[in-house]
Amino acid sequence: MTGRQVPPGPVGADDRAPGTTPGQPLPAATVARLPGYLHALDAVRGAGAALVTSERLAQAAGVTPAQLRKDLSFLGSYGRRGVGYDVDHLAGRIAAVLGVATTRAVVVVGVGHLGHALATYGGFAERGFTLAGLVDADPAVIGTRVGGLVVEPPAALMALVMRTGATIGVVATPAHAAQDAADALVASGVTGILTFAPRALRVPPNVEVRAVDVASELQILAFHASRHA
């Protein structure tokens, strides 16, 4: 069956995230906005502020204050009228809900230009992730060092995932190799896959798939551009 490419609806009460209000499901759309709030809180903290109003935080995250307050109310975080939110406390709460309060290991399958870009992107550590391993099927690439890691062959993937405790895999292969890469990641035990390949991946129901499809993003922009034309 096809994996869920888009969070389809409210997360059921039985699947409730740690740190959320009992009995209150956490909508998938809210989950999708939490990383933005966490990123905005990091920026606020970097500017030296200990408190932040919903207006300022909403602006930094690119949402309306009403949307922000509603989303945070699902976490039981309401802020104080006229004072705002405690930056450290709120950031810790969101990180706990997202499961990134501790660092998570990520493995990347496919070390072409895109895999290179991911491996040399410096921003993972500050967002709660460690790039733990790189895998590619090309004998000319295996054994080379990229972003401080030695590229390993597909046969080493399961050992790599077990050694590093990786729970998330990134598919950065060409489209024709994406399903094989996803199958190998699932077999090795990861439960989350981020794919850049422009095709739907088949995964078991317990595995979550997020797809970044550049052409789809461009088509959404085209819709807005055609309204301007």
Residue 147 marked ligand-binding: no
Q: Least Å distance between CB 99 and its own copies?
A: 3
- Tell me, by CB under 8 A, how many residues bind its own copies: 74
For its own copies, the closer CB: 34 or 182: 34
Nearer to its own copies, 21 or 83 (CB): 21
CA-nearest of 107, 91, 79, 81 to 184 is 107
Q: Please select the residue that binds its own copies; options are 22, 46, 81, 223, rule is CB under 8 A.
A: 223
Annotated binding-site residue? 113:
yes
Q: Which CB sits closer to its own copies, 140 or 214?
A: 214
Show the site string, 33-52: x = touches its own copies by CB under 8 A, - = not.
Answer: xxxx-xx-------------
* Interface of this chain with its own copies, residues 149 to 188, rule: CB under 8 A: 167-168, 175
The binder of its own copies chosen from 23, 48, 123, 204 (CB under 8 A): 123
Nearer to its own copies, 51 or 100 (CB): 100
Nearest to 135 by CA among 118, 160, 162, 166: 160
Asked if 56 touches its own copies (CB under 8 A), the answer is no
Rounded Cα–Cα distance for residues 204 and 207 (Å)? 6
Q: How far apart are CA 41 and CA 24, in angstroms?
A: 24
CB of 224 to its own copies, least distance (A): 4
Site for its own copies in 79-118 (CB under 8 A): 97-100, 104, 106, 112-114, 116-118
For residue 89, the minimal CB distance to its own copies (Å) is 19
Among 16, 98, 85, 93, smallest CA distance to 57 is for 85
Handedness of CA 42, 43, 44, 49 (dihedral sign): positive
On whether 123 is known to bind a ligand per the annotation, the reply is no
Could you list the residues known to form a binding site, using ranges: 110-115
Could you list the residues known to form a binding site for NAD(+), using ranges: 110-115
